[in-house]
Amino acid sequence: MDDQRQSVWSLSTLGIVVAGLSVLAGCRAPFGQRDSRVEASSPFADDRAMLVDFESAAEPEEAAAVSLLDGGPPLEPAQPEVIKLGFRPTPLARQPVEQLVAVAIDQHPRVRAARARYASATWRPEQARSLDDPMLSNTFFPISDQALQTAGGRAGNTMSLSQKYPWPAKREVKGAIAEREAQIAATKIRQAELEIEELVRLAYYELWFADRAIGITERNREIAIELVKLAEARNAAGGSQQDVLRASLQVDNLDSKLISLAEQKALAQADLAALTQQPSAQGIEPTETIDLSGAEQQREALFALALECNPSLNEQRWAVSRDRQKQELACLQKRPDFTFGVGWQTITESDAISPVANGRDNISFAVGLTLPIWRDRIRAGINEASAAVAASSREYADTRDDTFRRIRRYNEQAQAAQQQLDLYENRLRPRSKRALEIASADYRGRLVDFGEVTAGFTELLMIELQVARTEATLAGAIAQLERAVGCGVGTTE
């Protein structure tokens, strides 16, 4: 019977080894699962095209030649060399920037990667708080005449089970460190979202400017064609051929500008298509107007809002808290860890050399603890953690100061752009338009030469384009300001 029990224990040992190998080889996580939280599609809204209004009075005898300046329907080009360029295809559905931002944030791989890293970090606190795996061991003597002999008989197998228990506070502190690491990963999501939103908005405002500039330039091209007609009418009545050439040169210059603007628009569309994960998308069109609210916010209110919701500052705050927990864990290294175990040893009378062998098994209990006697190592760990706390605290201060610097910078840019926009709309554009009207009337009355008309036309065109550029610049500054603050600047009072 003792031999049978010896065989059973040998088989049990083999079973433990096989089970251990099965555990090591059997852990395989599913691969390639889709994240259904970031699958979305967005409809697009319609909008209408934009044109520049221009009015001027004409004398009755030249009404046909300057019908567009009079506010009438535009005439077809009379010059065969003046070619109507097809820069504006049939517009597709116009897409608000908010919809493109939503699609980009939902689909961009940078944001999805940050979400995956956060999901990974949320599983670490449970691991950090758990105990180490217990140790199960079995010692046996396959050669009976070389086995351990006791007074009770020959030892067959010795099985033991032990578990390590750290000092109670250590596990909680490790879990707190892991929780703060997860919070840091959560702030990375918001940082990625703000970065992608800023890129989308800046590209969208460039697209909006290019589209607006194309509309302005095409409208002014039609006016320039009417100026060609006006110069031809004057030339037929004894005027200068040079006026006709100047007017035709204006058309050619506008054609060249349209080519550049069309390229600028295509580049902005390509940027938006890539940011929204639609690299092959064609014809992304902006809305007629863009939101310019938020430039009037006070600097102190923006600072307070940034301290509350800026993800970079939140990340540094969580980093300081994490390093303080690490400092506490370093101090806990002065405390011992414990190990508890139980053992079972089989004793057999077979081949026993003791004359009083009885074959009774042995039961044992074990208690152990670590001895934290290497104080230099523990002190070095505490000093290392303290230095890390000081470093993270200074990094928070640096991030805060840099955030305030960027807020001041973008706020000043937005304020300056708003002032320029008011200047253009309230003073420069009305006066330039009035000057062109007077120059056109004086030219028909033979009071000024054609150079005055072309100069006024060019000045008005530049002002119209500068108004569109200033609006795009203001919108871009607000977008950069919102990223620096960390949330919408329109939420402040």
Mean pLDDT, to the nearest integer, of 244-264? Answer: 89
* Six token digits for residue 125: 């606190």
Q: Taking the CB of residue 414, how many other CB atoms lie within 10 A of it?
A: 25
Q: Is the confidence at residue 47, as pLDDT, over 50?
A: no
Q: If 0-12 CB within 10 Å is exposed, 13-18 middle and 19+ buried, where does residue 363 land?
A: exposed
The CATH class, in words, for 2-11+46-131+166-335+372-491 is mainly alpha
Burial 126-156 (b: 16+ CB within 10 A, else e): eebbeeeeeeeebebeeeeeebebbebbbbb
Q: What is the largest CA-CA distance in the chain?
A: 145
pLDDT at position 9 is: 42
pLDDT-based confidence at residue 90 (cuts at 50, 70, 90): very low
Which pLDDT score, from 0 to 100, does residue 46 have? 36
pLDDT of 295 reads: 65
Predicted confidence band at 349 (pLDDT cuts at 50, 70, 90)?
confident
Q: Give the tens place of pLDDT for each residue, 295-304.
A: 676 788 899 9
pLDDT for the residue 472: 94
Q: What is the pLDDT of residues 420-479, one digit of tens each?
A: 999 998 999 899 889 888 887 887 777 777 778 778 888 888 999 999 999 999 999 999
Mean pLDDT, rounded, of the chain: 80
362 vs 155: CA distance, rounded Å:
9
**What is the C-alpha R_g of the chain?**
40
Spell out the domain ranges in the chain: 2-11+46-131+166-335+372-491, 132-165+336-371
Which carries the bigger pLDDT value, residue 9 or residue 350?
350
| Res 409 pLDDT > 90 | yes
